[in-house]
Amino acid sequence: MQVLAGTITAGAGAAAAGSRQHLAVQAGGGFGKPAEKKISKQKACPCGSGLEYKDCCQPYHAGGLPGTPEQLMRSRYSGYVKGLWQYIDDVLATIDKLGFERLKVLSVEPGKDEDEGFVTFQAWFKNRGQLGQRAQGWHTQTFVERSRFLREDGKWLYVDGEQDWKR
């Protein structure tokens, strides 16, 4: 906020008498509009809502129920950012519409060291409940994935994979 000071003359009679008044004026943004509260990056919710985490997604992560699909989507995103894997698992619908039929391991490759490995495989499945442009009904679909695995503390973990979807 900037403070401006100046001298004003209080009318013609006051000028004749040599009387002057000093007036301090404060200039704030928005002509009287209260300053918008800025949220620090540490307190901001990762979902991008503009709210603090404690007032946005944290109540859902603590057991509250999102009331809309958007709230669920935002809270899932924030859960991923914060590593709240149990929450992510808790809000995932059980999918019983996929019927996996067959698996074929295409290749197994070592990684850059003994704690990394890759497996390329092809899987066949039927997706009975798929909607939209990719709907296949009861038809068998297939995809090929090259999965990356890392060993941490002696335990192999799936990290990620690159899929190539086939029709």
Task: Please give the pLDDT value at position 94.
Answer: 64
Task: Please give the pLDDT value at position 165.
Answer: 81
Tokens for 128? 């009975």
Q: Select the CATH number that applies to the domain covering 98-166 from these four: 3.10.450.50, 3.30.565.10, 3.40.50.1820, 2.40.30.10.
A: 3.10.450.50
For tokens 């900037």, the residue is 2
Residues ≥6 apart with Cβ < 8 Å to 44 = 50, 51, 52, 53
Q: Per residue, what are the HEC states of 91-156?
A: CCCCCCCEEEEEEEEEEEEECCCCCEEEEEEEEEEEECCCCHHHCCCCCEEEEEEEEEEEEECCEE
Tokens for 99? 């019927």
pLDDT per residue, tens digit, the chain (167 aa), is 454 555 444 555 544 555 555 555 555 555 666 655 666 767 899 999 999 999 999 999 999 999 999 999 999 999 999 999 999 888 877 656 667 788 999 999 999 999 999 999 998 887 766 555 455 456 788 899 999 999 999 999 889 999 888 65
d(CA 129, CA 97): 6
Task: Please give the pLDDT value at position 50.
Answer: 92
Indicate the pairing of strand 98-110 with strand 140-152. unpaired
Tokens for 101? 């039929």
- Domain ranges, ordered by start, for the chain: 1-36, 38-92, 98-166
d(CA 52, CA 48): 10
d(CA 68, CA 71): 5
d(CA 74, CA 161): 24
Cα 159–Cα 162–Cα 166 angle in degrees, nearest 5: 140
d(CA 93, CA 128): 16
Task: Please give the pLDDT value at position 1.
Answer: 47
